[in-house]
Structure formats: structure tokens, C-alpha cells
């Protein structure tokens, strides 16, 4: 029997395209009143094994026991939020350029009612670069309020990722120590770390992406998540599948950052590595009281944004922003 290979290929392409709904595709979010954009990558929902085995090189005790987690679909920023974007939030000069009718239909809040970060008392880039470079030194509160501000400006709902969403997106379907395999010798191709960064962060997107098209998930800067840090948390999840877990914060410290940074050794950049925030990140802040918005001693921490496919209720939106 003769097989029409071209016809088979066309059928397969058609199936792959129709497998996603119209809203389950990558898109670009414009920022009203500017030329700035945020590229968003669609992350399909699914189950994965969170954490790392004791046998993994560099394993820490807070990464176990491994357990199954189910994640709903969402979009995630292709890149870490840059100073170009973050300074728009700090300056707040474009708030007046928000159109009366925004494109999105998920959020209906007054941008003037969103709390804004204070201007830092010193250059928080510490001379490492601004244009195209990841924003750093902000507190988790500041990152959360950026998300609220971005939501008000665009009409689409944005927030920080949960710790589980972050690891799920970083792994991108892999089970190895890194999204590219187990050998840290290959890390130079995918991330900036202590061994190749030259003692500074770099422009976003300079290294290879992970299998789902996300850049700098390993290194460059660590990234804020929504969760409270609990070193024994995984013990509570080992008996059943955790569905979209979030360890809701009850105190300011410690919260979870993920991904490792330009200042970290390679094992700190693994997909499962967790890091708690610390009061020491404000040690050199001379202000009394110390700033709610800036971590003077954390030039290794930034963030990226996510947008869930399922729109939260207005009440749920507020919990993510507060």
C-alpha cells in the first residue's frame, strides 16, 4: 500500500495546532504609553515530581522527599523583568497614559490605587548594567506590587509564580538536575554563574533557553516566588499529589527564591534548589526604618511574572498582591 507521507505530515501538524485553544499560545504583552513589551510563554498544565533525590549531586535536605505535584496551565515571562520595565513601575510617570479601555478583561482596578516603590537611596544596579539587564534588589513586596501595577495597566492578571510553578516551568518536562541534563560542565551554555559571570549579572536572554523556551532559569539572577520558605514542607506532601500548592506567607522572612544567580556555584543553579530570603539582605540599608521596597544586599535577586489561564476572582487577585 502506498503511503502519502506529505498528507500524514499535514495531518500531524493540524492535530498539533488544534491541540491548543486560541488562548493557549505564546503572546506579547504591550505596556501602554511605552515601547516596552513582555514576551509570555505558554506553559501547559501537567504533573511532575518536585524536589530532588538524595543521590543528586549538590542535593540539600530541604529538596526532599520528592513528591508528585499537579500544575494548571499558565503563561510565564520568557525573560526576567529588566530595569527598563521595573523603572517604569518605580517612576510611575506612565500611569496617566493608561487608556480608559485597556485590552485585557481580567482586572478592573485603579492604577492610582496601587502602592509604588520609593526611589532607592543608591544605584541598585551597582554599576552592573541597566538597559536590557535584570532588575535586582527589590523585596518580594515590591515584586508583588509590580505585578499588581502591571495588571492595572494592562487589564490582564499578573502575579509571581508559586514555588511549584517555578520548578515545573524550569524543569520543562525533564527529571535531571538541570533542564539540560545532569552534568554541570554544560552549564555555561545555559546560565551565568560564579564560574563564568565575571562577578556580575548579564543582559537577559544571552544563553540558551530551556526546552520550553524560557531563558535564564538557571542563574543570572535568582527569582522571587510567592511562597513562605519551610525547610520541612515536602514532608507534608509526600503521601498524595499536591494540586497547585502554595505555602501562604505568614511572616516577612523567609520567603522562597529560585534558580540561583551569577554569584552562585553551579550546584545552586539546579532545578530543585531552594533558597530562603533573609533580613541580612538589608544589612547595609542606612534608613530607619529599613526600606519596605529594597534589599540593598541582594544584587543577585530579581523576578519574572506569570499569568494563569484560569482567571482568579477579584477577591483571589487581591490575596496574590497582598
Q: Please write the tens of the pLDDT for every residue from 213-240.
A: 999 999 999 999 999 999 999 999 988 8
Torsion sign across C-alpha atoms 56, 62, 68, 69: negative
* Cβ atoms < 10 Å from Cβ of 304: 27
pLDDT tens per residue across span 233-274: 999 998 889 999 999 999 999 999 999 999 999 999 999 999
Task: State yes or no: cis peptide before 219, omega within 30 of 0.
Answer: no
Q: Are strands 242-243 and 67-71 parallel, antiparallel or unpaired?
A: parallel
| Residue 15 confidence (pLDDT) | 33
**Euclidean distance between CA atoms 202 and 83, whole angstroms:** 12
Which residues is 307 bridged to in the sheet? 75
H or E, element range at 84: helix 83-91
Residue 69: helix, strand or coil by DSSP? Answer: strand
Torsion sign across C-alpha atoms 105, 158, 317, 42: positive
Q: Is the Cβ–Cβ distance between 158 and 147 less than 8 Å?
A: yes
The DSSP annotation for 124-178 comes to TTTTS--TTSBP-SB-HHHHHHHHHHHHHHHSS--BPPPHHHHHHHHHTT--SSB
Averaged pLDDT, 84-108: 94
| Residue 62 confidence (pLDDT) | 98
Residue of 75, 74, 72, 69 whose CA lies nearest to 47: 69
Residue of 137, 103, 97, 100 whose CA lies nearest to 118: 137
DSSP summary character for residue 184: G
Residue with cell 506553559: 43
Q: Output helix, strand, coil percentages for the chain, rounded to the nearest 5.
A: 25, 15, 60
Q: What is the band of 21 on the pLDDT scale with cuts at 50, 70, 90?
A: low
pLDDT tens per residue across span 134-160: 999 999 999 999 999 999 999 999 999
Q: Is the Cβ–Cβ distance between 130 and 301 less than 8 Å?
A: no
Q: Is the Cβ–Cβ distance between 169 and 48 less than 8 Å?
A: no
pLDDT tens per residue across span 59-71: 999 999 999 999 9
DSSP summary character for residue 284: T
Helix (DSSP H) and strand (DSSP E) numbers for the chain: 5, 11
Q: Which residue has the higher pLDDT, 23 or 252?
A: 252
| Residue 287 confidence (pLDDT) | 87
Amino acid at each position: 500500500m502506498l503511503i502519502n507521507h506529505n498528507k500524514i505530515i499535514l495531518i500531524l501538524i493540524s492535530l498539533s495546532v488544534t491541540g491548543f485553544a486560541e488562548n493557549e499560545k505564546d503572546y506579547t504583552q504591550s505596556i501602554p504609553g511605552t515601547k516596552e513589551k513582555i514576551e509570555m510563554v505558554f506553559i501547559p498544565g501537567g504533573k511532575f515530581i518536585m524536589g530532588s533525590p538524595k543521590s543528586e549531586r549538590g542535593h540539600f535536605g530541604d529538596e526532599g522527599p520528592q513528591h508528585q505535584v499537579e500544575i494548571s496551565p499558565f503563561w510565564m515571562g520568557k525573560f526576567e523583568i529588566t530595569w527598563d520595565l521595573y523603572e517604569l513601575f518605580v517612576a510611575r510617570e506612565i500611569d496617566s497614559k493608561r487608556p480608559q479601555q485597556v485590552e485585557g478583561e481580567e482586572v478592573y482596578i485603579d492604577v492610582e490605587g496601587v502602592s509604588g516603590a520609593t526611589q532607592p537611596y543608591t544605584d541598585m544596579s551597582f554599576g552592573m548594567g541597566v538597559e536590557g539587564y535584570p532588575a535586582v534588589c527589590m523585596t518580594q513586596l515590591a515584586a508583588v506590587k509590580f505585578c499588581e501595577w502591571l495588571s492595572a495597566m494592562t487589564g490582564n492578571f499578573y502575579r509571581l509564580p508559586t514555588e511549584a510553578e517555578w520548578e515545573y516551568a524550569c524543569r520543562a518536562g525533564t527529571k535531571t538536575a538541570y533542564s539540560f541534563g545532569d552534568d554541570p560542565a554544560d552549564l555555561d551554555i545555559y546560565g551565568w554563574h560564579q564560574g563564568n559571570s565575571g562577578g556580575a549579572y548579564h543582559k537577559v536572554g544571552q544563553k540558551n533557553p530551556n526546552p520550553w523556551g524560557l531563558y535564564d532559569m538557571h542563574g543570572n539572577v535568582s527569582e522571587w516566588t510567592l511562597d513562605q520558605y519551610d525547610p520541612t514542607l515536602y514532608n507534608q506532601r509526600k503521601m498524595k499529589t499536591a494540586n497547585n500548592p502554595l505555602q501562604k506567607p505568614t511572616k516577612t522572612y523567609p520567603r522562597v527564591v529560585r534558580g540561583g544567580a551569577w554569584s552562585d556555584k553551579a550546584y545552586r543553579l539546579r532545578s530543585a534548589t531552594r533558597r530562603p530570603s533573609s533580613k541580612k539582605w538589608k544589612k547595609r540599608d542606612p534608613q530607619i526604618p529599613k526600606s519596605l521596597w529594597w534589599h540593598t544586599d541582594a544584587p543577585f535577586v530579581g523576578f519574572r511574572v506569570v499569568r494563569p489561564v484560569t482567571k482568579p476572582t477579584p477577591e483571589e487577585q487581591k490575596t496574590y498582591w497582598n
